[in-house]
Amino acid sequence: MSDEQTRQGAVEGNGTSDGQAWQGIFEGYDDGEQPLQSYTVLAGVFNLIFAVFLLLTKGTGKRLPERIATGDIVLLGVATHKMSTLIANDAVTSFIRAPFTELQEKESPKSVDEEPRGTGFRRSIGELVTCKFCMGQWIASFFTYGLVFAPAVTRLVASIFAIVTISDHLHQTYKALTKRA
């Protein structure tokens, strides 16, 4: 059932047994522009993955850390920043976004401007994969799960992305300084 069919059923009073619970909950929110049902599915998947992580942690006897070391937070934060930008904006990863987005323009050899396409779940995925802030939450979660299950590998992968981030900033600083000179 599409989001539009669900909204139509809710308006007609077919959303629940009493016909009133659906009506009014989202009424007047956005005239049906936002795929709220698809957002709900994505939030559910995100939380399901977290629940599976917790169950696997318990089932394998791994212990959740009491706290995460400051160095790991910085490392994973920098790596998350780089990886979310890479997935959401870089031309080289456009193949990941292509089924869910429409190319607007190529901003540079390394960056593209894309808009989500389609409706429902397809559009929601498009919105997710083009938003570096949205991707950041998913990536940070996976890095954190990796820190519990495979800390050495996770730190290695995160270090690669952190090193590239530092390199990117040095390139930008150098470029800005040479333009001023």
Is 7's pLDDT higher than 70? no
Nearest alpha carbon to residue 79 among 169, 157, 171, 149: 157
- Per-residue pLDDT at 118: 92
Is 9's pLDDT higher than 60? no
Domain boundaries, the chain: 1-34, 38-180
What's the whole-model pTM score? Answer: 0.79
How many CB atoms are located within 10 Å of the residue 94 CB? 15
Nearest alpha carbon to residue 164 among 88, 82, 93, 80: 82
Nearest alpha carbon to residue 146 among 135, 155, 159, 133: 155
- Per-residue pLDDT at 24: 64
49-75: pLDDT as tens digits: 999 999 999 999 999 999 999 999 999
Amino acid, res. 78: V
Q: Give me the mean pLDDT over the 153-172 stretch.
A: 97
- Per-residue pLDDT at 21: 53
77-124: pLDDT as tens digits: 999 999 999 999 999 999 999 999 999 877 777 888 999 999 889 999
CB 97 within 8 A of CB 129: yes
